[in-house]
Amino acid sequence: MAKWPKLKWDVEPTGPLKGIKVVDMATVVLGPFATLQLADLGAEVIKIENSEGNTPGDLMRYAGDSPTKDLGPIFAALNRNKKAMNLNVKTDAGKAILAALLEDADVFIHNVRMAGMERLGFGYDEVKAINPDIIYVHCAGFGAGGEYGERQAYDDLIQAASGFASLSEMRDGGRPSYAPSLVADKVSGLFAAQAVMAAIIARQNGQGGQFVQMPMFEAFTWFHMVENLFGETFLPGNGKLAYTRSINPRRRPYPTADGYIAIVPYNDHQWRKFFELGGRPGVFDDPRFSTYQERSNNVGELYAIIEEVAATKATDEWVALLDEHNIPAMRYQRMDDVITDPHLAQVGFFQEREGEHMGKYRSMRHPVQYHGTPVATYADPPRPDADGDEIRAALGLGT
C-alpha cells in the first residue's frame, strides 16, 4: 500500500481530527467550507485542483482582488490549513497519483457529478476497490432517485427551489429575494463536514468505510423548514407555512433615539419589565399579549409597540438599562462595526497573519474551542500547486 505523504506544516496540527487524511476534490464554496471544518480541526487535507484549461484550479481563487491574483478573499477564507496540488485526472499520470493518495486516505470528498467521476474511474465502487475502508463523500446538488438528480445546483438555485427565497415575499408582499449570503452553500457544507465525522465514528466502531451522499437541496430544505413547516407539521395541515414570528415584517432592528437596537424579551417577567422601563406598564396586561400563545398569534402588533417604545431612548441608554434588568438586547452593528467589535477583539476572533505571498491579511479563528485538543490556523491558504512537487516526490510519482 502506498504511504500517505509526510506533510510539512507551518505549525503542527493539534485538533481533534489530527491524523485523519482527506483527499479533497471539492471546489467553489460548499465543499471547501466542509473541508475547512475538517482542516481546522486538524485533519490533513490535500486539495486536488484541475490543471486543465487556461484558468487551472478552483475558480473561487479568482473571485475578488488579491495580492497574488490567485488567492481571492473568499478562497483564502475557505482554504487555509490545506495542501494544494494541481492534477489532470484525465491523464494516466494524474489517475495514478490520485489512486496512490486514495490508497491510504481516510476520506475522499468531492462535488463533481457522480457520472463524471465514474467516467474517470473514481466512482465509489472503483475507489472502494483501491481502499475498502475509505469514507467517500459526494456533495451532490440533489439526492439520487429524484427527478432533479442530474441537475446542476448553486446557492441561488437552491434558495429558490427550497422555498427559502419566498420567505421575503411572505414577509412583506414584495418580490421574492435571495438572502445576501451564500447561506445554502455554507449550511450544506456544515452538513457535509458533520457527515464525514459521523462516518469516521461509524468506522471506528467497526462498521467500515461507506459511501455518503450529501444532497444540497435536501440539506438546505431540512435546515430552513425546521421552523417554517410550522402549520403543515400536523396532519391535516392548516396551510400556515413559515413561523409567524420570523416572517413578520416588523421583525427587524428597532430605531432608537440615535440609532438601532435588537431587543428580544422572552419570558413573562422580561416582557413586563421592558414595558415598565419604556413607560408603558399596561401593555402586557392586554389579553393579546398576556400568554406566549397569544403573543405568537399577535406578534405583529407586539412588534409595533416595541418599536414605539424603543424610539424613546438612545441606544447606549437602552443597552445599559436592559443589561441591568437581564433583558436580552444587542446594539445594531454595521459590517464595519463587526470588524472592530470589542468582544470579538477580546476573544481573538479576527487574527492578523502574514503569508509568504499574501502579505498581511485578516483571518477568522475557528469559533469552537476544544480545550483538550485545541484547533489552530497552522498553514496559510496555498497558491496553485504549491505542494504538488512535495506530494509527488513523497509518493515516488512524477507529474
Residues of the chain with CATH 3.40.50.10540: 21-223+351-395
Q: Is the pTM of this model over 0.85?
A: yes
pLDDT band at 397 (very low <50, low <70, confident <90, very high): confident
- Set of cell numbers at residue 253: 432592528
Backbone angles phi, psi at 106, to 5 degrees: -90, -35
Residue 127 is classified by DSSP as H
Check: CB of residue 373 under 8 Å from CB of residue 15.
yes
Question: What pLDDT is recorded for position 399?
Answer: 53
Question: In this predicted model, what pLDDT tens digit does every residue of 241-271 receive, in sequence order?
Answer: 999 888 999 999 999 999 999 999 988 899 8
Q: What is the pLDDT of residues 71-127, one digit of tens each?
A: 999 999 999 999 999 999 999 999 999 999 999 999 999 999 999 999 999 999 999
pLDDT of residue 2: 58
Q: What is the pLDDT of residue 292?
A: 82
Average pLDDT over every residue of 371-390: 95
Of the listed ranges 3-17, 211-225, 354-368, the least confidently predicted one is 3-17
Region of poorest pLDDT, from 103-117, 136-150, 295-309: 295-309
Assigned C-alpha cell, 187: 449550511
Higher pLDDT among residues 318 and 272, named by residue:
318
Residue 134 and residue 127: Cα distance in Å, rounded?
A: 8
- Cβ burial, residue 192 (10 Å; 0-12/13-18/19+): buried
Write down the pLDDT at residue 55: 64
Please state the separation of Cα 120 from the chain's center in Å.
Answer: 29
Residue 339 has pLDDT above 70, yes or no: yes
Through-space distance between the first and last CA atoms of the chain, rounded to whole angstroms = 20
Confidence of residue 290 (pLDDT cuts 50, 70, 90): confident
**Given this model, what pLDDT does residue 294 score?**
86
Mean pLDDT estimate for the chain: 94
Query: What is residue 14's three-state secondary structure?
Result: coil
Class level of CATH domain 21-223+351-395: alpha beta
Q: Which part of the chain has CATH 3.30.1540.10? A: 254-331
**Residue 31 predicted with pLDDT over 80:** yes
Per the rule left: phi > 0, alpha: psi between -120 and 50, beta: everything else, 268 is: alpha
- Its CATH class, for the domain covering 254-331, is alpha beta
Q: What pLDDT, on a 0 to 100 scale, did the predictor assign at position 266?
A: 86
pLDDT at residue 4, as a whole number: 86
For the segment 218-222, the average pLDDT, to the nearest whole number, is 98
pLDDT confidence of 1, banded at 50, 70, 90? very low
How high is the pLDDT of residue 357?
87
Q: Is 50 exceeded by the pLDDT of residue 311? A: yes
